[in-house]
Amino acid sequence: MKKPALVIMAAGMGSRYGGLKQLDPMGPNGEIIMDYSIYDALEAGFGKVVFIIKKEIEEAFREAIGSRVEQKVETAYVYQDIDDLPEGFSRLEKRVKPWGTGHAVLSCKDYIDTPFAVINADDFYGRDSFQVLYDYLKNIDDVKSYNYAMVGFILKNTLTEHGHVSRGVCQVNDQGYLEEIQERTKIQRFSDGVKFEENDEWITIPEDSIVSMNMWGFTPSIFEELEAGFVRFLESNKDNIDKAEFFLPNLVGELVRENKAKVKVLTSSERWYGVTYREDKPVVKKAIEKMIKQGVYPEKL
């Protein structure tokens, strides 16, 4: 069987960060976060990389990373287009942002025929995270099965000191399978604890909660569910269609509640790093420098 593929979601605008953070150098020789993710993925055994990008950044994207990756592994580029809608739907002119992570993954349905991982372009997951996910995916024999996986992180290890973040908050059963996941778009650390905002109210959440950082493992069966889910999303959000987002975790949560899919929550020993805000960059750069000194990464990838 073919090796699992790695899908990298890089079509976000990076509005809170203030620019194309996916292409911002973090390593000592101009490496970006994706360089380290791809390095870790190839070391783990992944055999293909699929980039989900916006058409308008293709030239800059290929120059920053794509051309280098093409020399090492089978590579594909997929464009997340807000005009890519199911039959019978048309985009409102005031809609300018992509439709969300669920739509992003749906965009690559014609490029994937193996089990595959999904990650964010601007999150640093660490080598062990890729290894445990690859080890799970490589043992899936039925590419149409609904046996999925997610790498879980501890909430307190995924927060920034510079504002709020979005996280998929998880409930995991005693057997290590996902029972519930709820996308919380505003989670922030305060002096009296970690809280999320809902209906203009800040609600305390345990800082050791398991959260999703959009590091998923799927089979191609997810595409049929994303197609149907996207239609339901468009129909149910007609009054907020210019701002609503089709979140991948919410679709997965539906499949779990309906007992249609099983999602194994894999644990990783890694600490997550990310650049939600520009002020996060020095923290990530310092962490990479430390890992290079420890021998985790070569100074030049």
- pLDDT tens by residue, the chain, 301 residues: 689 999 999 886 444 444 566 677 888 998 889 999 999 999 999 999 999 998 888 887 888 788 889 999 999 999 998 888 888 887 777 777 888 999 999 999 999 999 999 999 888 999 999 999 999 999 998 888 999 999 999 998 888 888 898 888 999 999 999 999 888 889 999 999 999 999 999 999 999 999 988 899 999 999 999 999 999 999 998 888 888 899 898 899 999 999 999 999 998 777 788 777 778 889 889 999 999 999 999 998 8
**pLDDT of amino acid 72:** 92
Please give the Cα distance from 48 to 42 (Å, whole number).
9
- This prediction's pTM: 0.89
176: left (phi over 0), alpha (psi -120 to 50) or beta: left
246: left (phi over 0), alpha (psi -120 to 50) or beta: beta
Sequence ranges of the domains in the chain: 5-293
**pLDDT of amino acid 149:** 98
What's the CA angle centered on 108, arms 107 and 114, to 5 degrees? 150
| Structure-token pair, residue 58 | 């293709």
Please give the Cα distance from 204 to 193 (Å, whole number).
7
Q: What topology does CATH give the domain 5-293?
A: Spore Coat Polysaccharide Biosynthesis Protein SpsA; Chain A (3.90.550)
The CB density around residue 108, as the number of other CB atoms within 10 Å, is 23
